[in-house]
A and B are shown apart, each in its own frame.
Chain A
């Protein structure tokens, strides 16, 4: 047994691609060794990555495959032997199997007697197997964007390969890829260590050898060190705290090979830039410069930034680096201030005209046209909501809808596209349109993801829904539905947003998915497709945002998929009670009822139109009938009050009657009238209790 290590040395891999590639390489290497019987099933590997390398280490790899014996079946005995002498067919079979003719044996099978050969396949050495098979795994790695670099275009990869290292124990495995044959050396940090090779004697010393060459190959160790360095640098100024940003920590972890207490600098900027909106400052720091923002003890943005370096330096070097980064940030802030001031010369209210020359989609016209459509749709939805008792500021909604897209004509948004909407909101406020309008514009792209917040106000929620629904309906009208992994207009995200807003808005919006779909377009066929797309995303929402089990979601949506909040409440209630024994039993019984009804329908045994108490032949029938009728009216009341949990508890109390019924009664009775009456009873019971969820969909363990 030995450890196996493979390292692929590369020019800098894009940070966003590293984690997935590292995981995939680990899976491929372990999978290959398992498949080739070089490690025990279920073996785990350890993997490493930096921008310039991917590596996988697997312990306990056999040096040699076990020999494998394999029984091969040949022709029938009748064909193989003539008068006890082997025929040419038998000789050919023996040759193919690699055994002597004398070694052939005979077995009896249901089809008669056949000859068989036991062929032994000698195991190959691990080195041979790995050298042959591993290059295919490397070449098979998925990269979102590939390149060619060698003449003749022999391979595609994310960036040029620059070295390979492959060791089985202390021996080099000559894995070949991209013109390199693996050796036993790796390379350290470009600047801190230099270009000289780093010999690695065995896989076990790989990480330590690299650490000595200023490379932390273990991603989590590097991430941890970066976090500590951020803390360390922040302590230079009392009361400062860096703003947690997991995404940015992750990005920087994948942009660096090394980290230490001397690999983060705390820089500052002139406090007058704090007059610019925080959103703009943070976007410049985070998205354009990969800097962390800091805040004071009151949580207010402080005039400092943290830059994570792919190096470390002495104090003089750090001072130079700090100064350089501060200089760049100042220039960026200056630009932002320039754009901000420039944009104020033309207020949003004068920018509607300019929207005519900004295309939304070539067949759907300009943003000016879209704004008109959204304005009408938002108004319609607002009117519906107001009619059902929601307080809607129709005027603010109308103004916001009209102005929401005008920031697309502003320089600041052209420079910082990710701030669309937000800039509009900030400008609306600065231009005296009032927070009633400004907040609506500010929020109307929300939520951008399942983790994002929803708009804060009713009007914001209405505008966000109207904007998204208009996009979806417009694209569907052009036949541009998302297919498979293709969703170029991010329509799934838009629909997820609509569902999430309906489920989570601070004030409930009494609008159904159907109403939204049919308000968004006058084309009934398109509306129907939009509606079913919305319903499908409700299923996704319940599972993704609330981790609802598959069967619960199915059961709940079978009883209604139009009212988002109601569906969420029902799903929660079902999830709470589904573990209870009585509930399990009742669910199982409901499933049985449904099956009986289905089977009966297949045999043309129709239920009676009404349940006739006079036809009950057994007390258990009568008991179920009476008890379920009592419960049904109580459950109905609870349901209208949306008290789903107690309603479900109540349904579960039907268990004794249900159990007794199935113990005592045979539904498919020979007498047609009795049978039809019993089927009608089951149908009624199911109908009475399926308003919250179709319990027959609940999967019962065991």
Chain B
């Protein structure tokens, strides 16, 4: 590790402080399994509708199929994204982003930065945007996206999304060849280095084994059906927004429905990692989950509109 390089947790602190100082609300990670920071309701739902929001949070992101039992130095079952949402995006968004790199100790004069076209799409969420992957000395360190649609709906205002790959950046700053060698923290008393491997290797080993070898396929299918049916039932009830009184309306659990949809998405990923989804089934199951996720986005927008309508009348 380079002497002056930030530890993994210092890196997170610095980036969070940087964005907090620029007006972002710091949120804690979302506590349901997601494959990316985008899927947290703090992004997926808050980008809908007219209300501005600046928010940042670190999001552990689970991708069961990417697990490698902790044996591959570059791939993880669960990695950490620092997600920043700026809605609407400020004019100097790219410059501010570059300043955030300086804030974590990257002297831009001594590095090569390129913004290369990379558009983002999450078909299951009816979401897409255009943007770049930011390359630092040949390493993709950030996804930078201007959202255009979400839940199949056009966004206005749009938002700028900046997603930092924290393990990648830490590995780069510390110049280590394996993720597991990243220094997570240094004990102040002893100077002992706590590594990423020490904290997370067991998770990688066990969750890889669970996703690939142990997960009970018939049970997973059951989970999927259960979560799906409950979500569908909520979507059905949401059809009565116009008839609801203000209290019932504002307490209607759109967010609960979204969690159920996310559960389905994660179970799908587990089934996929388990090799349990045939190609013919695949398209159909994805369509089922899309119906849930897009359905929730639609009722979220409808609830927001109904609430502001009610406020106007009240």
Contacts and interface: CB of A to CB of B under 8 A. Distances in A.
Interface string B76-104: 00000000000011010011001000000
Nearest to A251: B116
A357 B279 contact: yes
A147 B89 CA distance: 13
A643 interface: no
Contact of B109 (A147, A191, A330): A191
Contacts of A366: 279
A323 B113 CA distance: 15
A15 B310 CA distance: 48
Given A11-B94, A358-B279, A325 B138 contact: yes
B47 interface: no
A486 B114 CA distance: 33
B132 A12 contact: yes
Contacts of A162: 91
A622 interface: no
B284 to A, nearest CB: 11
A327 interface: yes
B190 to A, nearest CB: 29
B255 interface: no
Contacts, number: 108
Interface stretch (A122-130, A311-319, A396-404, A455-463): A311-319
Given A310-B114, A327-B177, A147 B91 contact: no
Nearest to B89: A149
A648 to B, nearest CB: 52
A147 B112 contact: no
A82 interface: no
Contacts of B137: 320-321, 323-325, 328
A68 to B, nearest CB: 43
Interface string A136-149: 00000000010111
B146 A324 contact: no
A149 B158 contact: yes
B172 A324 contact: yes
A195 B95 contact: yes
Interface residues of B, number: 41
Interface stretch (A87-95, A201-209, A331-339, A580-588): A331-339
A334 B112 contact: no
Interface in A143-165: 145, 147-149, 151-153, 159-160, 162
A151 B115 CA distance: 24
Nearest to A367: B279
Contact of B73 (A12, A334, A358): A334
Question: Which residue, of A12, A152, A334, has the highest number of chain B Cβ atoms within 10 A?
Answer: A12
B158 A148 contact: yes
Nearest to A317: B110
A14 interface: yes
Contacts of A553: none
B108 interface: yes
Question: Which residue, of B116, B119, B172, has the highest number of chain A Cβ atoms within 10 A?
Answer: B116
A321 B111 contact: yes
Given A331-B73, A359-B279, A289 B138 contact: yes
A362 to B, nearest CB: 8
Contacts of A190: 95, 98, 113
Interface string B108-137: 111111111101000000000110100011
B72 A328 contact: no
A149 B88 CA distance: 8
Interface in B135-173: 136-139, 146, 148, 154, 156-158, 172
Interface in B31-78: 72-75
Contact of A335 (B74, B113, B116): B74
A193 to B, nearest CB: 11
B175 interface: yes
Contact of A145 (B88, B112, B119, B138): B119
Contact of A328 (B94, B114, B117, B138): B138
Given A310-B114, A320-B137, A324-B111, 20 more contacts: A11-B115, A12-B117, A12-B132, A16-B117, A147-B130, A148-B148, A149-B89, A151-B156, A152-B156, A190-B113, A191-B113, A310-B112, A311-B111, A311-B112, A321-B110, A323-B137, A327-B139, A338-B72, A359-B280, A366-B279
Minimum-distance CB pairs A-B, first 4: A324-B137, A14-B117, A317-B110, A12-B115
9 contacts: A151-B157, A162-B91, A190-B113, A307-B138, A309-B112, A310-B112, A325-B138, A331-B73, A358-B279
Interface of A: 11-12, 14-16, 51, 145, 147-149, 151-153, 159-160, 162, 190-192, 195, 255-256, 289, 291, 307, 309-311, 313, 316-317, 320-321, 323-325, 327-331, 334-335, 338, 357-359, 362, 366
